A and B are shown apart, each in its own frame.
Chain A
Amino acid sequence: MRQPVYSRGHLGHFVLNVWRHHELLRHLMIRDIKAQYKQSMLGYAWILLNPICQLAIMSFVFTTALRPSSQGDVPFSLFLAVGLLPWIFFANATTSATMSITSGPNLIKSVYFPREMLVIASVLVRLVDLAAGLLIVGALMVAHGQPVLWTVVWMPLLVAIHVMFVVGLSLPLAALNLFFRDVRFLVATAIALWFFLTPIFYSLSAVPERYRLIYDLNPNARLIQAYRWALFEGVSPPIESVLWAFALSGASLVLGYYVFKRMEPYFADFV
Chain B
Amino acid sequence: MPTSSEAVGFENVSKRFRLRDGKTLKETLPSFVSRNSIFYALEDLSFEVGWGETLGIIGRNGSGKSTILKLIAGVMTPTRGRVRANGRIAPLIELGACFHPDLTGLENVYLNASILGMSDREAREQLESIIDFAELAQFMDTPVKRYSSGMSLRLAFSVAIHSQPDILLIDEAMAVGDKEFQEKCLERMRDFQRQGAAIVVVTHALELVRDYCDRAMLLEHGHKAAEGAPAEVIDRYVSIAAG
Closest to B98 in A: A107
| Interface check B29, CB cutoff 8 A | no
CB pair B102–A1 under 8 Å, yes or no, is no
| Mask of A133-155 contacts with B, CB within 8 angstroms, 1/0 | 00000000000000000000000
Contacts of B97 in A (CB 8 A): 106-107, 109-111
| Interface check A265, CB cutoff 8 A | yes
- Shortest beta-carbon distance, A18 to chain B, in Å? 14
CB pair A23–B102 under 8 Å, yes or no, is no
* Seed contacts A109-B97, A268-B75; 4 additional CB < 8 Å A-B pairs: A23-B119, A28-B111, A265-B76, A269-B18
- Shortest beta-carbon distance, A34 to chain B, in Å? 6
Tell whether A109 pairs with B102 under 8 Å between CB atoms, given A1-B116, A4-B74, A268-B70.
no
| Interface check A44, CB cutoff 8 A | no
Contacts of A2 in B (CB 8 A): 74, 85, 87-89, 117
Contacts of B143 in A (CB 8 A): 38
| Interface check A108, CB cutoff 8 A | yes
| Interface check A35, CB cutoff 8 A | yes
A-B contact pairs, 19 of them (CB 8 A): A1-B163, A2-B89, A2-B117, A3-B74, A3-B85, A6-B77, A24-B115, A34-B102, A106-B94, A106-B98, A107-B98, A110-B91, A111-B75, A111-B91, A112-B74, A181-B23, A268-B75, A268-B76, A269-B76
Contacts of A205 in B (CB 8 A): none
| Interface check B103, CB cutoff 8 A | yes
| Interface check B40, CB cutoff 8 A | no
A113→B84 CA distance, assembly (Å): 17
> Considering the complex, which residues of chain A in the window 84-109 have a beta carbon less than 8 Å from any beta carbon of chain B?
106-109
| Interface check B114, CB cutoff 8 A | yes
Of A110, A265, A269, the most chain B CB neighbours within 10 A belong to A110
| Interface check B135, CB cutoff 8 A | no
Number of interface residues of A (CB under 8 A): 31
CB pair A31–B100 under 8 Å, yes or no, is yes
A6→B84 CA distance, assembly (Å): 13
| Mask of A256-271 contacts with B, CB within 8 angstroms, 1/0 | 0000000001111110
Q: Which of A27, A34, A108 makes the CB contact (< 8 A) with B75?
A: A108
CB pair B103–A34 under 8 Å, yes or no, is yes
> Considering the complex, which residues of chain B in the window 81-131 have a beta carbon less than 8 Å from any beta carbon of chain A?
83-85, 87-91, 93-94, 97-98, 100, 102-103, 107, 110-111, 114-117, 119-120
